[in-house]
Amino acid sequence: MKKILLIEDDKAIAELERDYLEASDFTVELAADGRVGLEKALQAEYDLLLLDVMLPGVDGFQICREVRKVRDTPILMVSARREDIDKIRGLGLGADDYISKPFSPGELVARVKAHLARYERLTGGTRSQQKVVQAGGLEIQLDTHRVFADGREISLTHREFELLAFLAENPGIVFSKDTLFERVWGLEAAGDTATVMVHVNRIREKIEPDTTKPVYIETVWGAGYRFHG
């Protein structure tokens, strides 16, 4: 049974989310304070973190930043604030998804299931028969989920790796942000193209010799992104 850490200071919302998740056969542990939630997230193993942005003690952005330093656990951030800058900031810190309140409990459960399934598929190693993609000084090991740039190993989150691997396995093809979101995240893409943009930028910062002149992931203005193999 998958174990979820839910960090939410609104008791009524937390209990509602917990009830729906438990009804879908998840084990849910609650934390109502940011410091307590961060401590739990760093000390225990969870399959997914469901993280509110506005929390007492330590906010959700800081929790996301600290957890991402040591764990690759899927992180879904939740907030009543709808500003794009908050979404971009959360995704930039390594969150896998950002859900704006209010949302239906059914949508929440669906997103949790989708992210867990994607993470399990990725870490389970069930990819195509091609094991390694080589492009210039970049090596992507699809079976071991390792990436090397000029011989130096690069640390990617599971979502960054999946996006890079998808593009690399389809070199020369231009994919729109909507298509990439749908193919990599497996969720409804409308209104969430910032997710793709932020992840592409993070990948470039890690693999590109010069982010102002990308060698591997090209932006095709008005169309999307293309990988150069």
How confident is the model over 134-171, as pLDDT tens digits?
Answer: 888 899 988 788 899 988 999 998 889 999 999 998 88
The pLDDT of residue 84: 60
CATH number of domain containing 75: 3.40.50.2300
Residue finishing a domain among 123, 157, 190 = 123
Instruction: Tell me which of 57, 92, 123 is where a domain ends.
Output: 123
Domain span at 177: 132-227
Alpha-carbon Rg for the chain in angstroms: 18
90 & 186 share domain: no
Strand partners, 48: 4
DSSP string, 104-152: -HHHHHHHHHHHHHHHHHHHTT---S--EEEETTEEEETTTTEEEETTE
Do 137 and 118 lie in one domain? The reply is no
Residues in the chain: 229
What is the tens place of the pLDDT at every residue in 119-141?
887 766 444 444 788 888 899 98
Q: Are residues 29 and 73 in the same domain?
A: yes
The reply to whether 154 and 181 lie within a common domain is: yes
CATH number of the domain bearing residue 174 = 1.10.10.10
The DSSP secondary-structure symbol of 95 reads: -
Residues 113 and 138 grouped into a single domain = no
pLDDT-based confidence at 187, cuts 50/70/90? low
Does one domain contain both 78 and 149? no
| Residue 50 and residue 76 in contact, taking contact as beta carbons nearer than 8 Å | yes
Residue 70 in 3-state DSSP?
Answer: helix
Alpha-carbon span 144 to 139, nearest angstrom: 12
- Within this chain, do residues 114 and 166 fall inside the same structural domain, yes or no? no
Q: 73 and 54 in contact (C-beta within 8 Å)? A: no
The reply to whether 219 and 145 lie within a common domain is yes
Q: From CA 130, how far away is CA 133, in angstroms rounded?
A: 8
CA distances from 29 to 5, 11, 36, 168 (A): 5, 13, 12, 38
* CB-count burial class (<10 Å; 0-12, 13-18, 19+) for 153: exposed
64 & 161 share domain: no
**Using CB atoms within 10 A of its CB, is residue 174 exposed (0-12), middle (13-18) or buried (19+)?**
middle
Pair (200, 154) in one structural domain: yes
Which residue among 123, 152, 169 closes a domain?
123
CB 139 within 8 A of CB 148: yes
Q: What's the domain count of the chain?
A: 2
Portion of the chain with pLDDT greater than 90, in percent: 48
Task: Return the pLDDT at 182.
Answer: 81
Taking all residues of the chain, what is their mean pLDDT, rounded to a whole number?
Answer: 86
Question: What is the pLDDT confidence band of residue 81, given thresholds at 50, 70 and 90?
Answer: low
Q: Using the predicted structure, report yes or no on whether residue 99 has a pLDDT greater than 70.
A: yes
Reply yes or no on whether the pLDDT at 191 is more than 60: no
Domain check: are 117 and 165 in the same one? no
Contacts for 59 with CB less than 8 Å, ≥ 6 apart:
34, 53
139 lies in the same domain as 189: yes
- 217: pLDDT strictly greater than 90: yes
